[in-house]
Structure 1
Amino acid sequence: MAALRYELPSQGLLHKRPLIVRGEDMEFSKFGSDVAYDLIYASAVFLHMRAELVWTGLERLVAKLKPYKGRIFVSHNIKFCTRLGDKCIERLAGLGLESLGRQTHDSLLFNH
């Protein structure tokens, strides 16, 4: 799994003992309302989704990030953002996210 072999070590986050969750509904309430994450790694989560559904997913993910410390790493299907150009940056800012740009081939990292 690329998350454990490359992405998490490259961000220096393995010491946090990450929990990798696989799900199909993007519903995070089952983890509790008081849970906040340092990193959400969306590996191919958005691969076959329409752009608007990707934005819905990001809205839900942002609510689970630690304020001012959390990161979302998105791999595959970054066109939902790159197609918008500068409007993507504005839309991310509206979610409280800052794009750190491409980190690897076809992936984006956002700071919260």
Structure 2
Amino acid sequence: MDEFLTIATTVQRKTGQGSFGATYATPTTEHGRVRYGAKLIRNSDGEQIVSQAHITYPLNTPTIPVDSIVTVPSHSALERRVIAEERHDTGMADMPNHYTIDLD
């Protein structure tokens, strides 16, 4: 599946909340598959919200917490906020296990 996960994205993982707002780890580059398009999802609070982009990464990608910032490629670099994340691990070697995030 790695042959399809070739788009470089910049990820600033949220690490906490300080007196001046959110704090983030040093940006990293993660390679995945980006799909643009609005779709209705449920966030971590169970609310229905609209996702504008969906990114698939390898299963072993370190967790990208909700409210992290991801810069995705397009005609210009777009910074988007993570609104949901999920691991898809069936435990079966022949299944395409992966990790996904949805962006606002």
TM-score (norm 1): 0.32
| Structure with the higher helix share, 1 or 2 | 1
TM-score (norm 2): 0.33
Structure label with greater radius of gyration: 2
